[in-house]
Amino acid sequence: DQQVKQNSPSLSVQEGRISILNCDYTNSMFDYFLWYKKYPAEGPTFLISISSIKDKNEDGRFTVFLNKSAKHLSLHIVPSQPGDSAVYFCAASDGYQLIWGAGTKLIIKP
Amino acid sequence: DGGITQSPKYLFRKEGQNVTLSCEQNLNHDAMYWYRQDPGQGLRLIYYSQIVNDFQKGDIAEGYSVSREKKESFPLTVTSAQKNPTAFYLCASSIASGSSYNEQFFGPGTRLTVL
C-alpha cells in the first residue's frame, strides 16, 4: 500500500503562471517532507523541505504547504519557468528512510 | 568537489550474469542507499546502510546484494536471481539515517539493460 501518493502523473502549465503539485500521505508518523526535482537520466536533486511542526516554507519561487489534518502537502512554483519542466517527487521521512511518491511530470508551455 | 559518483552510466549484460554497480561518495556521509526506478514509477528502495559493515533490506531486496566495507563505497550486485533487472539504478547518501532530517544526495544513476 502506497504511503505517499502523487495522484497526478503529469501537469501542464503556461510559462509565467503558477504550478501546483500535490502529494498525499497516510502515515501520521512522518515528521519531515521533501520535494525533489529530476531531469531524465539524472539523479534527483533536493528542492525544498518542510518539518511537520510548520505549515509553510518558502525558498524563492518555491513554496511548500503542509496540511497535517488532511495529510496533504503541495508545492507551489511561481512564476513557472521553462527550466522547471521536470519530474517532481514528494518524499516523506519516518526518521530512518524516505518514502517516495511516484512523481509528477511538470511541463511548462511557452 | 564533493559528490556521489556512479559508474558506469550505461551497462549492458547478458541474462544470467551477475553485475556490480559502483557507488562512491566523498561527502563523509554515514548513510548510503540504493534505489531502483522503472518508467513511470517512483523510487523504490533496494538496500540501505547506516554505518560501515551494516546494511538493511529495503522494499525490493530480492535478487540484489550489497556490501559496505568502507564508508565511501556501497556497491550493488544485481544477481541472476533478479527477475527484471533492466532499470535505472540510483545511489544516494545522507548525513545519517536515524535522523528526522534526511535529505539525500543522489548520484547520476546507472542504466542497466539486460539482453
d(CA A9, CA B4): 28
**Assigned C-alpha cell, A47:** 528542492
| Contact between A43 and B90 using a beta-carbon 8 Å cutoff | yes
From the list A49, A102, A103, the residue facing B103 with the nearest CB is A49
With bands split at pLDDT 50, 70 and 90, how would you rate the model's confidence at B78?
Answer: very high
| Contact between B102 and A95 using a beta-carbon 8 Å cutoff | yes
Strand partners, B90: B35
Q: State which residue of chain B sits closest to A102, comparing Cα positions.
A: B42
Please write the tens of the pLDDT for every residue from A13-64. 999 999 999 999 999 989 899 999 999 888 999 999 999 999 999 999 999 9
**Which of A10, A64, A93, A99 is the best residue to mutate to test the B interface, defined by the most B CB atoms within 10 Å of its own CB?**
A93
Strand partners, A66: A73
Tell me the nearest-neighbour CA distance from A110 into chain B, angstroms.
24
